[in-house]
């Protein structure tokens, strides 16, 4: 499967709410020319309001994942684009929480609500470590 058009990112939720790693597609989708420029932006600045960001983080901490959420993110030029967001939280007791995620442009999904073919596969990959250990 080809994932080159999928936007993948890694976030450290440690109070500063900065994106730790992104692939090139995230930068392209949000209109940034390089990762250093993008890192100057806080996560809350990407949302329409700080309240929207805080509600998403609260829900993520409660559920440990958010799947297939269509939200609006702010691009570098201050315009907004719809994305289909998938987030997977990893909490380390007493330490920083981390969030793996991927997103897809959602302009076409709003009308037909269909995910791309690799979305289900990647959801399984990201959630495999969240399943309880059991005998086989």
pLDDT tens across 50-80, in order? 999 999 989 988 998 998 899 999 999 999 9
Which of the four CATH numbers 3.30.450.20, 3.40.630.40, 3.30.1490.20, 3.30.230.10 does domain 7-129 have?
Answer: 3.30.450.20
**Cβ pair 70, 84 in contact under 8 A:** yes
Residue with tokens 């995910």: 115
Q: pLDDT band for 109, please (50, 70, 90 cuts).
A: very low
Q: What is the pLDDT of residue 25?
A: 85
Asked if the model's pLDDT at residue 131 lies above 60, the reply is: no
Q: pLDDT band for 98, please (50, 70, 90 cuts).
A: confident
Is 124 or 10 the better-scoring residue by pLDDT? Answer: 10
How does pLDDT run across 3-44, given as a tens digit for each residue? 455 677 777 766 567 777 888 888 888 999 998 888 888 888
Q: What is the pLDDT of residue 15?
A: 59
**Cβ pair 71, 51 in contact under 8 A:** no
Asked if the model's pLDDT at residue 95 lies above 60, the reply is: yes
Please spell the DSSP secondary structure of 21-74, one letter per residue.
EE-HHHHHHHT-SSHHHHHTS-GGGGBSSHHHHHHHHHHHHHHSEEEEEEEEEE
């Amino acid at each position: 499967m080809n994932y080159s058009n999928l936007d993948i990112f890694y976030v450290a939720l440690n109070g500063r709410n900065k994106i730790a790693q992104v692939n090139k597609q995230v930068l392209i989708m949000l209109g940034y020319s390089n990762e250093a420029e993008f890192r100057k932006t806080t996560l809350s600045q990407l949302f329409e309001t700080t309240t929207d960001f805080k509600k998403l983080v609260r829900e993520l901490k409660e559920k440990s994942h958010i799947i297939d959420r269509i939200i609006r993110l702010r691009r570098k030029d201050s315009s907004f684009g719809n994305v289909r967001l998938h987030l997977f939280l990893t909490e380390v007791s007493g330490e920083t929480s981390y969030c793996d995620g991927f997103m897809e442009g959602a302009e076409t999904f709003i009308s037909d609500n269909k995910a791309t073919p690799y979305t289900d596969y990647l959801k399984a990959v990201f959630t495999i470590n969240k399943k309880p250990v059991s005998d086989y």
